[in-house]
């Protein structure tokens, strides 16, 4: 059964995680920061890492561009939870495909391993990521990017940072230009939880 926690800003909604995953203390998280490695602003990566630690979880960094597939496969198999951080959606998808990590994550999700996706790490779970072009540069560190296929683990499209600074205009544009898609907007104070076929939007009080 799929177990996904998809959010815009994990550090803002980390308090919602215990309701989704019981017995967090001592659990190992494979932390994938790859989407952010070429970004100028990366504080959210550290904030996410610290929020996990504050919940009592053990964080193991897994920067997939610096690891062989065997190492990636072992870490994803051994961990209790997978965390995919934010950054550039297209660079992240490119590297997931290039390293084969996309298939490894899909395999672990199918087995029921919980997975947390933040921002770009949430959007890649959709069937197609082209809708993110109004938020991220699809040619930054991804020259000739033409395959917009996402992981396809969910059949909806998370619109992260909805009406949240500094993405107010971008998220409104995404909603307007992609109205034919099953868009699911979430602010920085919200998270989408997926348990099997059940989908809920939760808001931090």
Residues labelled catalytic: 119, 161
Structure tokens belonging to residue 65:
């561009």
Q: Which residues contact 163 (CB under 8 A, 6 or more apart)?
A: 171, 172, 185, 187
C-alpha to C-alpha distance for 149 and 162, rounded to whole angstroms: 22
In a 10 Å sphere around its CB, with 0-12 CB exposed, 13-18 middle and 19+ buried, how is residue 23 labelled? exposed
Among candidate residues 27, 100, 35, 93, the one with its CA nearest the CA of residue 70: 100
């Amino acid at each position: 059964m799929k177990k996904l926690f998809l959010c815009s800003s994990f550090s803002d909604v980390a308090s919602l995680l215990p309701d989704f995953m019981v017995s967090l203390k001592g659990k190992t998280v494979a932390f994938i920061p790859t989407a952010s490695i070429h970004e100028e602003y990366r504080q959210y990566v550290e904030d996410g890492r610290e929020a996990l630690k504050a919940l009592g979880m053990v964080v193991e960094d897994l920067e997939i561009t610096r690891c062989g597939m065997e190492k990636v496969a072992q870490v994803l198999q051994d961990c209790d939870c997978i965390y995919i951080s934010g950054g550039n959606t297209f660079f992240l998808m490119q590297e997931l495909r290039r390293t084969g990590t996309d298939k490894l994550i899909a395999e672990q999700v199918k087995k029921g391993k919980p997975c947390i996706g933040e921002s770009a790490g949430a959007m890649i779970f959709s069937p197609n990521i082209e809708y993110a072009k109004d938020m991220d540069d699809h040619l930054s560190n991804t020259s000739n990017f033409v395959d917009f296929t996402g992981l396809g683990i969910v059949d909806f499209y998370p619109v992260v940072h909805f009406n949240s600074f500094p993405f107010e205009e971008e998220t409104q544009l995404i909603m307007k230009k992609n109205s034919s898609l099953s868009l699911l907007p979430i602010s920085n104070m919200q998270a989408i939880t997926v348990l099997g076929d059940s989908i809920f939007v939760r808001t931090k009080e």
